């Protein structure tokens, strides 16, 4: 799963709702909302403390405008966090890739930097996966004497 709001803690209610709108748009892009995507969205809704959020496709343009007004670093955070929605189900659909590319372009972000952010996010997912494996691993049958 993703890393909910690790980098969006400074968002106020307007930015948070705009982010959730773009996240909802992204997860619906391929026509299938997986359980992983739905769970990740619920985690973000809770972490961003947006009560009663419902996706309104008509609000997408306004959400993009809100995100476009952010500073460069915040735009990059938004991109990286939205990337987590595209890959949280372990599959990046071509429609999701196109949506990410469109988002990148609408925010005026550098493609090379976005690619680096995607790599960092993947590495973070891998670390979280290893932590989850260690937390849920069966005890070793080998006894270590001290």
Helix 94-106 and helix 60-68, axial crossing angle in degrees, nearest 10? 50
Return d(Cα 53, Cα 25) in angstroms, integer.
Answer: 13
Task: Give the model confidence (pLDDT) of 72-125 as tens digits.
Answer: 999 999 999 999 888 887 777 888 899 999 999 999 999 999 999 999 988 888
- Please say whether the beta carbons of 86 and 125 come within 8 A: no
Return d(Cα 94, Cα 79) in angstroms, integer.
Answer: 17
Domains and CATH numbers, the chain: 13-136 (1.10.3680.10)
CB neighbour list of residue 60: distance below 8 Å, 6 or more residues apart = 21, 22, 25
Return d(Cα 71, Cα 74) in angstroms, integer.
Answer: 5
pTM: 0.85
Task: Give the model confidence (pLDDT) of 67-85 as tens digits.
Answer: 999 999 999 999 999 998 8
């Amino acid at each position: 799963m993703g890393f909910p709001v690790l980098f969006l803690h400074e968002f106020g209610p307007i930015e948070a709702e705009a982010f959730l709108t773009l996240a909802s748009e992204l997860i619906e892009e391929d026509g299938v909302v997986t359980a992983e995507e739905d769970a990740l969205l619920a985690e973000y809704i809770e972490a961003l403390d947006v009560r009663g959020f419902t996706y309104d496709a008509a609000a997408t343009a306004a959400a993009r405008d809100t995100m476009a007004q952010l500073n460069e670093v915040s735009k990059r955070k938004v991109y990286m966090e939205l990337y987590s929605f595209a890959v949280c189900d372990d599959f990046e659909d071509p429609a999701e890739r196109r949506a990410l590319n469109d988002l990148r372009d609408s925010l005026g972000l550098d493609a090379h930097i976005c690619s680096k952010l995607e790599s960092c996010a993947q590495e973070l997912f891998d670390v979280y996966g290893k932590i989850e494996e260690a937390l849920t691993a069966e005890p070793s049958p080998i006894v270590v004497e001290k």
